Chains A and B, each alone.
Chain A
Amino acid sequence: MSVLVYTENWDNQFKKLSFELVSYASSVAKQLNTNVVALSIGALSQEQLASLSQYGADKVLSLENPDFKTFNALQYAKAITEAAQQEKAEVLVFANNISTRAVAPRVAVKLDAGFVSGCVSLPESISPFVVTKKAFSGKAMAKVQINKGLKILSLNQNAFGLIPNAKPFVSETFNSTLATSNAKLLETRKSSGKMSVLDAEILVSGGRGLKKAENFALLEQASDIFGATATVACTKPVADLEWRPHSEHVGQTGKVVAPNLYFAVGISGAIQHLAGITSSKVIVAINTDKDAPIFEAADYGIIGDALEVMPKLNESLKTFKSKS
């Protein structure tokens, strides 16, 4: 028996999310009194693979077959299923993110497993197996029971955190063959080096209250002062107006984010926007309208004109940064 965690990589690197998943899997394994096996697909360095054992992976399975170089949901699902079978996995753990969302449901079918996506905490009981997930776009939580022997859980990013738990690094190569697929990857377009709104610890987000695209420079400045872990986000109308790229749009129909700090600048706080941000640890709202609903979701608020407040805030942040 084991808990199998699929650890995706980005250009052959793991990121915080990968370690969060292993931390989670390892805590689930503790509940079940079993081992954690991490599965990696790609040509990763030993050092990268070993980093997974820092968070509790008892064994790392590495599928390095170059046939699996490009992501294909059907083919990845087959490989992950085979790994789960080899390791007699009882629970499988995935990230609830873009690529694993394409794979985990397929694995659930192949293994006839019960699948709960968007989990936010450890299973509250093992028998029966009950776990809590977000529902209604963050407006509620649902306690879900899995009625199958095999369980699949996908974890929301930043819902669990990191738990260092160093184990000796044990790795094993794993191989699989490609399933027949007629899907062909024609092109990959990378967006600029900026970090994804999903990975940022600090989001400086702007709404229509910023009036025009150029004024987002004020938010860029704030993000730059915070440094590499911060980036800019926006509301749906801002993306629709093409002031910002759609990849930055947060909310029910955009990205659901969970940063440590979310600045909502010139954002009214419509329910569909809030659906994307309620998992933020701290929300700061800057808005001219004292009755804007965003203040009901925020921890700190400033009633004022963003175009006046942001330059001052940027100065203040600069001073703070230079001192700390």
Chain B
Amino acid sequence: MKILVCISHVPDTTAKISFVDGNKTYNKEGQQFIIGPNEELALTRAIEIAEAQAGSTITALTVGGAEVEPTLRKALAMGASDAIRIDSTPKDAMNVARQIAELAKIQNYDVILTGREAIDYNGGQVGEMIAELLGVDSVSGATEMQLESAKALVTREIDGGLEVVELQYPAVITGQKGIAKEPKIPAMRGIMMARTKPLLVQAPIALDDATEVLEHSLPKAKGACKMIPADQVDELVRLLHEEAKII
């Protein structure tokens, strides 16, 4: 099995967000960057599967500048076989997807995994775009995944339940919580080995961005929380009705 896992390099989930450059650019100063939590779980599941199937390889891929390399090294430490960085900093998901599809066309991966969404711009676009560019089937929002030799069995969440879908290779699967129980934590041995695993840097193809962020803003600050004594729940109900007019 030849698996590609697409990894976004994103600010830690607890990061406080601020902007520079007239609110145009996200302020990276002092921020911790991580593997996006959705694809971290997808990678974890891929590693579990590859460990049980001799001869499997997992390539971790990020489209980004040199600063993403520590994130790819972490993927290697978790258990990816090798890593590729496509040296480009696109502003738009379609551009990212085209860069990845271009590589995938040559590499013939059986399965391409992404996360449900990257937690910076919450696009939820790249995985399905890759699938469409390659003309292959996909399942998005996988909460369980089996990769058998001839087919994949994937459970995905739908509105009001679950669906189990069978896919033939090649296919794209976007993962989310559930696909693996907990993200794999690299062991010391993995961290040591990661230093010598190949991390290839590849040139991007020339593309324009279909969309671009002009400016960011922070949501309006909440007013103070109105406190109600614990023995006056009737007052809470009254406020919800008369003041908030919500019940």
A residues bordering B, Cβ < 8 Å? 10, 71-74, 77, 96-99, 101-106, 108-110, 112-118, 130, 133-148, 181-191, 196, 198, 202, 226, 236, 246-247, 249, 252-254, 260-261, 271-272, 275, 278, 281-282, 284-285, 295-305, 308-309, 312-313, 315-317, 319-320, 324
Contact = CB atoms under 8 A, between A and B. Distances in A.
B208 interface: yes
Given A117-B122, A295-B225, A317-B237, A191 B163 contact: no
B162 interface: yes
A144 B228 contact: no
A104 B140 CA distance: 12
29 contacts: A71-B158, A73-B137, A101-B124, A102-B140, A102-B141, A106-B129, A109-B129, A114-B92, A114-B211, A117-B122, A133-B121, A143-B213, A145-B211, A146-B211, A148-B210, A181-B137, A182-B167, A183-B137, A183-B166, A186-B165, A253-B37, A261-B247, A272-B13, A278-B219, A299-B223, A300-B225, A300-B240, A302-B228, A309-B230
Residue with the greatest number of chain A CB neighbours at <10 A, chosen from B37, B163, B223 = B163
A308 B229 CA distance: 13
A97 B128 contact: no
Contacts of A104: 125, 128
Contacts, number: 266
Interface size class of chain B, counting residues whose CB lies under 8 Å from the partner chain: 35 or more
B132 A106 contact: yes
B187 interface: no
A302 B227 contact: yes
Given A98-B157, A261-B247, A300-B228, A73 B140 contact: yes
B227 A73 contact: no
A108 B213 contact: no
A313 B233 contact: yes
B167 to A, nearest CB: 5
Given A109-B132, A140-B218, A300-B225, A102 B138 contact: yes
Given A99-B159, A183-B139, A297-B222, 10 more contacts: A73-B128, A74-B137, A113-B210, A117-B124, A144-B211, A183-B138, A186-B164, A189-B161, A246-B177, A320-B237
Residue with the greatest number of chain B CB neighbours at <10 A, chosen from A142, A186, A187 = A142
Nearest to B120: A136
B236 interface: yes
B234 interface: yes
B209 interface: yes
A133 B219 CA distance: 11
Residue with the greatest number of chain B CB neighbours at <10 A, chosen from A97, A139, A141, A190 = A139
Interface in B124-160: 124-129, 131-133, 137-141, 143, 153, 157-160
A101 B141 contact: yes
Given A301-B225, A301-B226, A182 B137 contact: yes
